[in-house]
């Protein structure tokens, strides 16, 4: 008797710069691998050769909010078509450092770009990409779970002060990051079934416990994952 292939899972990590996502992304990927899953780690903007070129433009070249948003969604479309959808069709776990919520938070709330127009771009870029036969062509791809690292903007600023040379987003003032944080809160309020708020203003072990509990509660990992920090 053949064993059915596991269902693909799509998990995104979100949060303002300095929220501390990176080490926990690696930790969650390893927890899935330890239980026999194949994991694709990726990021946005980026994840494909084309999207990485667009990422470099976004992070370092001056542009207006509409141009930023168009570049973000162009990179996302290529990312979905080339990386995310094929991995999900193979039954893999896709873990992405940021996805569409970041565009609403940074270009929408941070830059002040119109959310209704972002929603139009979201629908255009994320519809009709799925490779699974059971998904209709009108299906719009979103993460199965979004782990939102909620951190006060002033705490993030202290963390970023000792980081590498900042890009054009990391170099923004505290007021910008406060707006971005509020944008994430707005997205979370609109999609409570998808978002998991992670209190990132605490120790590393406590952050991991929140992540592990959320994933175990979905039945995606065994309870053994909770003890690994």
Can you give the pLDDT of all 229 residues of the chain as single tens digits?
Answer: 445 678 999 999 999 887 788 889 999 999 999 999 999 999 999 999 999 999 999 999 999 999 999 999 999 999 999 999 999 999 999 999 999 999 999 999 999 999 999 999 999 999 999 998 888 889 999 999 999 999 888 887 777 666 656 677 777 777 888 999 999 999 999 999 999 999 999 999 999 999 999 999 999 998 756 655 5
Note the pTM of the prediction, 2 decimals.
0.92
- DSSP letter for each residue of 22-88: HHHHHHHHHHHHHTT--EEEEESS-SSHHHHHHHHHHHHS---HHHHHHHHHHHHHHHIIIIIHHHH
Tell me which DSSP letter residue 7 carries: P
- For residue 29, give the nearest of 42, 20, 18 by alpha carbon: 42
* Bond from prior residue into 2 cis (ω within 30 degrees of 0): no
Residues 102 and 84 sit within 8 Å (Cβ to Cβ):
no
Q: In angstroms, rounded to a whole number, what is the distance separating the alpha carbons of residues 217 and 37?
A: 17
């Amino acid at each position: 008797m053949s064993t059915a292939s596991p269902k693909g899972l799509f998990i995104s990590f979100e949060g303002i710069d300095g929220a501390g996502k990176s080490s926990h992304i690696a930790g969650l990927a390893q927890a899935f691998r330890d239980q026999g899953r194949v994991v694709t780690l990726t990021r946005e903007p980026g994840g494909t050769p084309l999207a990485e070129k667009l990422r470099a433009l976004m992070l370092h070249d001056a542009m207006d909010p509409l141009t930023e948003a168009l570049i973000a969604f162009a990179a996302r479309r290529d990312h979905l078509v080339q990386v995310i959808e094929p991995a999900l069709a193979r039954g893999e776990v896709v873990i992405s450092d940021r996805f569409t919520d970041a565009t609403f938070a940074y270009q929408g709330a941070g830059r002040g770009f119109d959310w209704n127009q972002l929603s139009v771009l979201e629908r255009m870029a994320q519809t009709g990409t799925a490779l699974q036969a059971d998904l209709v062509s009108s299906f719009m791809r979103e993460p199965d779970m979004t782990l939102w690292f909620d951190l006060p903007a002033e705490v993030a600023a202290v963390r970023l002060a000792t980081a590498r040379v900042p890009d054009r987003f990391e170099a923004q003032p505290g007021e910008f990051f406060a707006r971005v944080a509020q944008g994430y809160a707005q997205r979370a309020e609109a999609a409570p079934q998808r978002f998991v708020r992670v209190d990132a203003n605490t120790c590393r072990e406590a952050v991991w416990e929140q992540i592990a509990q959320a994933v175990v509660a979905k039945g995606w990992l065994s309870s053994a994952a909770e003890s690994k920090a």
